[in-house]
Amino acid sequence: MPTFSAQPGIRAALSDDPSPLEIYKLFITDELINSWKVETNRYARAIINSKDQQLLSNRSRFKLWKPVTLWEMWNFIAICVHMGLDKKPTLHDYWTSHPVLHSS
């Protein structure tokens, strides 16, 4: 077996005191989030185009669809990460204002 001769450690351009977001962006890049945004919007258009528009109610989320922005995708990912770190009994509990379960 050959001996390891490389320099160990992280090989990324980070500031002297990197923020959690700076480290996170080493793995989840703007390019990746942008591709998720593009595919989300493409999927929504495909679903909307496949529906009979006359059968949808006026309040249908398909009729109200607006293309997702990059900023919205970043926020969605942040919410998913937060929900994974702060476990609640039910999905509804993540949006409650009850003092015992509330998180900002």
Cα 24 from chain centroid (whole Å): 12
Total domains, the chain: 1
pLDDT, tens only, 18-72: 998 888 888 888 999 999 999 999 998 888 888 777 777 777 887 788 999 999 9
Of these ranges, 48-52, 88-92, 99-103, the one predicted with the greatest mean pLDDT is: 88-92
Q: Is residue 8 part of a domain?
A: no
Residue 68 to residues 47, 58, 94, Cα–Cα distance (Å): 15, 20, 22
Q: Is residue 14 part of a domain?
A: no
Instruction: Examine the pLDDT at 82 and tell me if it is beyond 90.
Output: no
What's the pTM value of the predicted model, to 2 decimals? Answer: 0.69
Q: Is residue 78 part of a domain?
A: yes
Angle separating helix axes 30-50 and 70-85, nearest 10 degrees: 100
Q: Is residue 7 part of a domain?
A: no
Cβ atoms 74, 33 nearer than 8 A: yes
Q: Is residue 3 part of a domain?
A: no
Domain containing 39 equals 20-95
